[in-house]
Amino acid sequence: MPILEEKRVSLFIKREDKIHALISGNKYRKLKYNIERAKSDHFDTLLTFGGAYSNHVVATACAAKENGLRSIGIIRGEELASKWQKNHTLSMARELGMQLKFISRGEYRNKHLPQFINQLNSEFDTFYLLPEGGTNNLAVLGCQEILTQNDADFDVICSSVGTGGTIAGIINSSSSKQHLIGFPALKGDFLKEDICKFALKKNWELQTNFHFGGYAKTSTELIDFINDFKKHTQIPLDPIYTAKMMYGILRMVEAGKFKPETKILAIHTGGLQGIVGMNAILKKKNLPLINL
């Protein structure tokens, strides 16, 4: 990338996407201690929530299977009940043995309420509950393992942000000299508070200008960026999270936001399973596709 040389900034990418094809990147980290807890507490079923393209749903289905647990996915959107077979993410989750239950968007909004959980408890046997996106204390603990001692030399560490659990873990295991930048993949002011619930340090900021219109929203510019980036680096980016972060980082480099000799580490949090689903949407709209 010529812009990095021009600005004399170095950029490394930590390939968490290579941990596992389906229990991808940060989702592996977030599930690790939750699965240990579910097993030590003698649960035989994981239950979680997600949308039709959720990396977390697939990761949970796969991790459950690999650990001899059953899994239940509560999926947003009743209309999917008749056409989940056409959805890459959901059919993969089903293939991995996940039982899918489709609920309306209205019901989905109430998923954290005790009445709703009680209803699930009467419908299904006991289960270990993972919140949407998988963020809880144990998930943050797992994400603290993303950085290791070998990463102590980096000045700046960048991560994509959904619920904020991943960056909270990274913040907690960073050194106070390091600066963390989170790139939210969605619009909203709630993220800062959510991160503060788990983060123990204040060495971080959010760059909120790179969400491309909101969660799962893309543009031809972003798709072109993904394809160009892959051509130059051979590194695939997902359109929901990591591409928005990488686009943001390079824009900030271009704008001279980093001093010369700054060493940046970007976390590739995975999410590549989502490309097929996104391409199906782009194809319907007659837009350029992401090269596989």
Binding segment toward ligand PLP, per CB under 6 A, in 75-83, 164-172, 197-205, 225-233: 164-172
Which residue in the block uniquely carries the two structure tokens 């089903």?
94
Site for ligand PLP in 90-149 (CB under 6 A): 133, 135
**How many of the other CB atoms lie within 10 Å of CB of 262?**
17
Determine the Cα–Cα distance for residues 116 and 233; give it in Å rounded to an integer.
Answer: 46
The answer to the question of residue 273 lying near ligand PLP (CB under 6 A) is: no
Q: What is the DSSP letter of 18?
A: G
Site for ligand PLP in 183-242 (CB under 6 A): 238, 241-242
Determine the Cα–Cα distance for residues 142 and 19; give it in Å rounded to an integer.
Answer: 14
Output the smallest distance, CB 119 to ligand PLP, in A.
26
- Listed residue (229, 234, 261) closest to 244, CA to CA: 229
Output the smallest distance, CB 277 to ligand PLP, in A.
13
The answer to the question of residue 60 lying near ligand PLP (CB under 6 A) is: no
Determine the Cα–Cα distance for residues 265 and 42; give it in Å rounded to an integer.
Answer: 39
Determine the Cα–Cα distance for residues 284 and 131; give it in Å rounded to an integer.
Answer: 32
Cβ proximity to ligand PLP, 7 vs 76, nearer residue: 76
Determine the Cα–Cα distance for residues 78 and 241; give it in Å rounded to an integer.
Answer: 25
Binding ligand PLP by CB under 6 A: which of 160, 173, 207, 279? Answer: 160
Binding segment toward ligand PLP, per CB under 6 A, in 77-85, 156-164, 206-214, 284-292: 156-164
Q: Where on the chain is the footprint of ligand PLP (CB under 6 A)? A: 25-27, 55-56, 133, 135, 160-166, 238, 241-242, 269-271
